[in-house]
Structure formats: structure tokens, C-alpha cells
Amino acid sequence: MEFKKRFFNVCLVGIVLAGLIILAGPQTGRCEAPIKIGMIDSYSGATSFITKLALSGWQLAIDEFNAKGGLNGRKIEIITRDDKFKADEALAHARELVLKENVDFLAGTINSSAALAVSEFAKTKKKIFMVHAAYTHRLTGELGHRYVFRSCQSADIVGQSGGAFAGSKPYKKWYIIGDDFELGHSLADNFKKGLKKANPNAVIVGESWVKLGETDYTPYLSSVMAQKPDAVFGCFGGASHIPFPKQAKMFGLFDKVAYFHYWLADPLFAQVLKESYPVGAYSGLSYFWYYPEIPANKEFRKRYVDYTTQKGDPQQYPGEGVLAGYSGARFLIEAMLKAKSARTEDVIKALEGLTIQTASGPQTMRAYDHQVLAPVFWGQIANVPNYPFPIMKDIYTAHVKEITPTCEEIVAARKDRK
């Protein structure tokens, strides 16, 4: 009898201890599942020097988030895939990331055609796709949908703001040259709209479209000069930002006509092009490490320099790609914190209309098309005392809300497509 009593007590203690262990488990032993982001971009080839900077912006924001404990203990994990600047490879990676890796979100990519392909896939799988470097206006315009968001500018904002800025200059005869792909044509179409609106007397005297992968720009530059334009608008993507200015400089283009080219103002190109950098050309960007001179910008640059130094690859001058990547991550993070959830529909609801504070000022994710509203700056590249390389002077800030398509225009564009 006494043995049975002791046996019963031992069992009872064991059951109680097991219960306590189970109850204590979530605080002591369980490893929270990470929130997975499938990042697809061109990490090899001619544009990799840009995409890796955007990735560093993502990693900075995510490391800061994880260091604070994540979302109820859940930290973010980035899984990268290289699309080699090919739309079919980007789509294949998207399928693998969603169907095999079970990622919570998709993100990327610098290639506009790849972004459109992944976007359609994300729509069918009801996965949020955060785009940080593809600019085609169709992504959040006629082909936009509930699951695609963009943390960088779009070609309609860039092109039309550039056209408005160019139209304020005393040039009548314009020539357009660019890469013969989605982004190049999207930029050109919107530049023409902005130019004609600002200067109805402006005329386009010719266009040259460079085959993707072409390395010799000489015949195209000859075509430009044959038309004797007053000014040229360059519509180039990531792979052409370095070789085209180099050859155009040797050709003497910048000495003969005014030249406008978004992205050339990025510090990356000033440091790489060196003596080939077209001082005196006009350019635009949505972020400068030296402008605006606000505490948030100085603090962001310091954090980025410290972060990249700790990682063993010190970068002194963050550019637009870094901030676009950082903002893409921040939008997702702030939406998850606001929703207290990583579920797709909860995050979408929190993202729509969300405003975050950034180094270039406040950015808002528009609710009706999921396009970020952020500042766009234009100016002239110049040598300025006390700076390590040429920067922008006489900076003009575009009125983005006046340029961006209205809700009614977006609705009409999507209706026309159906």
C-alpha cells in the first residue's frame, strides 16, 4: 500500500513537471520561425554593382529590426537568387522561392521585364512583391494589382519630372537615345509628356534605340549629331550608365550639346567614371548623401558607413539604390509592426497609405496604386569645393504629387487593358 502511494506521488510530480516544461517551452526552448523574404535580383553581370548596394540597404534595415527582437521574436531572413538580368530566370526563382522555400514575401528586381513577370506570378499566389529598383511605369500603372508595391520611383515620375525640368531650359530641338528595352521606352514616353507640357515649342528631331548588350555606341552617337539637336535625353538602364558616358565623352557629345540623364548624379558613377564623368551635364536622383542637409540624412549616412565598415566593405557615400533598398525593407517592417502580423492581408492593409521617415524626407505608399511618393531632385553636375568628386548644384525639387498619375488615370489605364 505504501509502495503504491509513493509510486502515485512520483507519477504526479512527473506529470506536474512535464506540464511546467510544456508551459515554459515558448519562453525557453522554442525557436520562432523566421519571416522569409525571397530576394530576386541581378547579382551577376553588368548591373550587379547596383543591385548589391540595394541589397546592403535591405540588410541594414533588417539587421536593425532583428537586433530589436523582430516581430514577437520572429526575425527576418533574406534568401537571395540571381536572375542574371533575365525575366524567365526571375520567374523560375519566384516559383521556387514560393513553392519550395515557402517565403512570406518576394522582393527585387532591377530588370523591369523581370519585375513584370514576377509581379504577375505574385498576384496568382497572393504574395506581396516589394520592388526596389524596377522603374517601368506599367508595374504600378496598367499592370498594377493588390500584391505589388514599389519603394523606388517609377518611370512616369522620373521621366515627366525630367521633362518638366528640361522644358525650363532654353533648348528647342531634342534627341532621345536609350536602351531598347522596357525601361528605356517607358522613360522616353514620359519625358516627352513632361517636356511638351513645360515647353510646347520643343520638338523631338530624332531617336536612337541601342540593342541590349551592344557595346559600341559610335553609330548611335553619329546619328545623334547628324540631326544637330540642342539637347539630348539619355534613357539608359543600369548596364549602360558607365560605358555610354565613357564613349560619349570620347566622341565629344558633352562638349557639343546639353545632355540630360537620370541616375548619373549617383555618387557611384562619379567615382567610377572619374575623368569621363560628364561635368556640366544635367541629372536627377531621389537621394543624395549631401542633400537635403537634414539631421535624418546625416544620421543615416553615419549608420550606413558604420554598418558597411563593420561588414568589411566600407562605403562612404550611399546612393539612391541603398536608400531604395532600405526603404523597401522599412515599409515591410513598419507594416508588420503596425499590423502585429506577417500575414499577407494584414500587411497589405497596413502598407496602404503608410508613411515612413527617411534620409530624404517622408515617403508615403499610395493606397490606390502602391507607388511610393518620394522626392525627386534635378540639377547640374559640377565641381564644388570641399567635395571629393563632382556633385549636383542648383538642385530643383520636383512637385511629385502634380506629376504622378491620378487615381482616376490609374483606374482608366487598368480598365483599358482589360
DSSP state of 110: S
Instruction: Give 415's pLDDT tier (boundaries 50, 70, 90).
Output: confident
Q: How far is CA 258 from the centre of its chain?
A: 28
Cell numbers standing for residue 385: 569645393
- Position 3 scores a pLDDT of 47
User: Beta strand pairing status for 203-210 and 173-179?
Assistant: parallel
From the list 296, 310, 312, 262, the residue with the least C-alpha distance to 282 is 262
Whole-angstrom distance, CA of residue 363 vs CA of residue 381: 25
Whole-angstrom distance, CA of residue 154 vs CA of residue 137: 5
Cell numbers standing for residue 9: 506521488
Cell numbers standing for residue 273: 567614371
- Position 12 scores a pLDDT of 53
pLDDT at 417 over 90: no
Instruction: Please provide residue 285's backbone torsions phi and psi, each rounded to the nearest 5 degrees.
Output: -170, 160
Q: What is the DSSP string of 353-389?
A: T-EEEETTEEEEE-TTT-BEE---EEEEEE--TTSSS
Task: Note whether 346 and 339 are within 8 A (CB).
Answer: yes
Whole-angstrom distance, CA of residue 331 vs CA of residue 344: 14
pTM of the model: 0.87
DSSP state of 291: B
Per-residue pLDDT of 236-295, as tens digits, reads 987 899 999 999 999 999 999 999 999 999 999 999 999 999 999 999 999 999 999 999
Per-residue pLDDT of 316-350, as tens digits, reads 999 999 999 999 999 999 999 999 999 999 999 99
Per-residue pLDDT of 204-241, as tens digits, reads 999 999 998 899 999 999 999 999 999 999 999 878 99
Q: Cis before residue 292, ω within 30 degrees of 0?
A: yes
Per-residue pLDDT of 43-77, as tens digits, reads 998 888 889 999 999 999 999 999 999 999 999 99
Question: Which residue in the block uniquely carries the three cell numbers 558616358?
Answer: 245
- Position 225 scores a pLDDT of 96
Instruction: Give 23's pLDDT tier (boundaries 50, 70, 90).
Output: very low
Better pLDDT: 375 or 28: 375
